Structure 1
Amino acid sequence: MSVATVMVYVDPAQQAEEQVRVARSVAAKFEASVIGVSASAIEPDFVAEGVIIQETTTEDIKRMKTELAEKERWFRDVVGLPAGRVAWRWNLEYPLDYLANEARAADLVVLKSSYRKVDPYRLIDPAEAVLRMGRPTVLVPEHVHELQADRIVIGWKDTREARLAVHDALPFLKRASRVSIVEICTSNEQDAARRRVRDVAAHLGRHRVKAETDVRVHMAESDAHQLVRVAKDQGADLIVTGAYGHSRLGEWVFGGMTRGLLDEAPFCLMMSH
């Protein structure tokens, strides 16, 4: 895999620049192009006491289109790359549906790791996005404006998702000065875990990535907290891991480890599903 195009979602009313600046830093690292994506959905009419209530007026739609089009200037100013390497796409559509479709044009997608409120008409649920897009995703917490990815921790689990995540992260791993493969297991699994992470390290070595291995035993703290602590101790600014989730009552949700990393990690996560 190579990174030639980075896509980033922008909330139409967004003022914070974190994930856009991270997208710019990734694009600069790989001399890639950046595509900004934004969308707002028109809220449907509803019926009250037999009367159809129109929530969105013609003026509202005009304002929404203007807001989305004008956000391009803000986006291009923040990205600060030559015009030929920056594109802007917008539509009146549910943001998650629009982003999931447009992701076909990207090698990597950058998102905020969380939103304080649920608004499917304007915002992206990062859990559902990662599980739907079919693209590796960098999730950016608040107050992070750059991704150096010089020291990387791989949160290993012997699953399809983790294998895909390591493959997708190869462009970053090849440029890192330190890569650590960490598996957290039960005490009676340590020998098998050591064999697994040694296999991953050997595989990466054939791609000219020198990686350390580290097997840890489950502790009283959550696995997510333990992995974040390891990454902090190593001075890492990126954790690479598979994204694990399932559908519940029509909604995609992350599993415990994945959700824990999103809630606790003070640096970027790169996830694949």
Structure 2
Amino acid sequence: MSYATLMVYVNVDHASRALVSVSADLADRFSAKLIGLSSLAVVPPVVAEGVVVVDHASELELAQMRKSLAETGEKFRAAAGVVRDTEWRSALEIPTDALIRESRCADLIVIQKSGPPIDFYRAADPGTAIMGTGRPFLVVPGGLKTLAAEHILIGWKDTREARRAVWDALPFLRQAKRVIVIEICEGDQKEAAHHQVNDVVLYLARHKVRAEGRVETRLMGPGAAQIMGFAEDEGADLLVTGAYGHSRLNEWIFGGMTQDLLISTTICCLMSH
């Protein structure tokens, strides 16, 4: 198993050369095709007291949006550099919807970490996209220019999402120099946690990944802060974890750790739902 196609979502307002550079390096490492994607949507009419305040976009506005997307495509190509197999795609629709739709052609999607608020007509929402695509996402902190992925931390939880994340991360795990599987649990669950972590370590060994297991007792405060602190102490540069949430009236409500990691992670996170 490897990644044959990577897709990177490029924000039209903040086209990150560093993000594309990370994606291009990974595409080169895995001998993969790299697809760049960006999207803009027309803001729908606003009605106040029965009067339309903002009407549909004019042809001039649509032309400007297409021009902005084309310019973003040129920035993508320039930043991708020597990657041989690249493609640019753009759309005039809700960015998150475009990303979910186009994800059918990618094995891994790279996106920049973004905190609230998000302009849903000009930027893709990483959380909603992760939940809707059925593909793993690599969430990259702003400013990061390279990802060695030499020391990987797997945040384990005995769930479908975590199992999916471990499988999706195998191309990275096989190339890593060190892999740690960690479960953070309540004090009375340590025996079960050790058994689960050991199973994951043995599973990875059968896939030619040498890993070590750790179990830590949950501390007071956010779980994301504890696991990020552990990652920093161990020098990890990639965190692999499941993404947890549920839909309520078409809005994704995320678990605390998933939400915190999407907003505050200081290292790359590979997330699967």
TM range (shorter): over 0.9
CA deviation after TM superposition for structure 1 residue 234, in Å: 1.2
Give the Cα–Cα distance (whole angstroms) in 1 for the partners of residues 48 and 259 of structure 2: 38
Amino acid at match of 1:81: V
Please say which of residues 13-22 and 107-116 is displaced more in the overlay.
13-22
Contact kept, 8 Å, 1:128 with 1:253, in 2: the verdict is: no
Give the Cα–Cα distance (whole angstroms) in 2 for the partners of residues 63 and 234 of structure 1: 48
Q: Which residue of 2 aligns with 1:222?
A: 222
Where do 1:95-174 residues align within 5 Å? 95-174=95-174
CA deviation after TM superposition for structure 1 residue 59, in Å: 0.6
Amino acid at match of 2:86: V
Contact kept, 8 Å, 2:10 with 2:16, in 1: the verdict is: no
CA deviation after TM superposition for structure 1 residue 14, in Å: 1.9
Give the Cα–Cα distance (whole angstroms) in 2 for the partners of residues 259 and 121 of structure 1: 21
Please say which of residues 204-213 and 250-259 is displaced more in the overlay.
250-259
Q: Which residue of 2 aligns with 1:26?
A: 26
Amino acid at match of 2:67: T
Q: Which residue of 1 aligns with 2:42?
A: 42
Give the Cα–Cα distance (whole angstroms) in 2 for the partners of residues 222 and 13 of structure 1: 32
3-state SS of the aligned residue for 2:34?
A: strand
Structure 2 residue runs of 5 or longer lacking an equivalent are: none
Amino acid at match of 2:228: V
The yes-or-no answer on 1:212 pairing with 2:206 is: no
3-state SS of the aligned residue for 2:171?
A: helix
Give the Cα–Cα distance (whole angstroms) in 2 for the partners of residues 253 and 25 of structure 1: 33
The yes-or-no answer on 1:72 pairing with 2:73 is: yes
Q: Cα deviations across residues 176-215 of structure 1 (Å, max 9, x unaligned)?
A: 0000000001111111110100000000000110000000
Q: Which residue of 2 aligns with 1:265?
A: 265
Give the Cα–Cα distance (whole angstroms) in 1 for the partners of residues 45 and 262 of structure 2: 35
Q: Which residue of 1 aligns with 2:182?
A: 182
CA deviation after TM superposition for structure 1 residue 49, in Å: 4.4
Contact kept, 8 Å, 2:40 with 2:121, in 1: the verdict is: yes
Give the Cα–Cα distance (whole angstroms) in 2 for the partners of residues 129 and 179 of structure 1: 27
Please say which of residues 144-153 and 247-256 is displaced more in the overlay.
247-256
Q: Which residue of 1 aligns with 2:61?
A: 60
Contact kept, 8 Å, 1:6 with 1:107, in 2: the verdict is: yes
Contact kept, 8 Å, 1:4 with 1:32, in 2: the verdict is: yes
The yes-or-no answer on 1:247 pairing with 2:259 is: no
Q: Cα deviations across residues 19-46 of structure 1 (Å, max 9, x unaligned)?
A: 2222112112111111000111112223
CA deviation after TM superposition for structure 1 residue 81, in Å: 2.7
User: What value does the CA root-mean-square deviation take over the aligned residues?
Assistant: 1.4
Give the TM-score normalised by the residue count of structure 2.
0.95
Q: Cα deviations across residues 214-273 of structure 1 (Å, max 9, x unaligned)?
A: 000011232211111111111111000000011234211321111122233211000000
Give the Cα–Cα distance (whole angstroms) in 2 for the partners of residues 51 and 219 of structure 1: 54
3-state SS of the aligned residue for 2:157?
A: coil
Give the TM-score normalised by the residue count of structure 1.
0.95
Give the Cα–Cα distance (whole angstroms) in 2 for the partners of residues 15 and 9 of structure 1: 9
Contact kept, 8 Å, 1:25 with 1:148, in 2: the verdict is: no
Q: Cα deviations across residues 63-102 of structure 1 (Å, max 9, x unaligned)?
A: 11111122211101111134x4110000111111111010
Q: Which residue of 2 aligns with 1:92?
A: 92
Percent sequence identity over aligned pairs: 46
Amino acid at match of 2:71: E
Contact kept, 8 Å, 2:115 with 2:263, in 1: the verdict is: no
Name the count of aligned residue pairs: 272
Give the Cα–Cα distance (whole angstroms) in 1 for the partners of residues 47 and 181 of structure 2: 55
CA deviation after TM superposition for structure 1 residue 2, in Å: 1.4
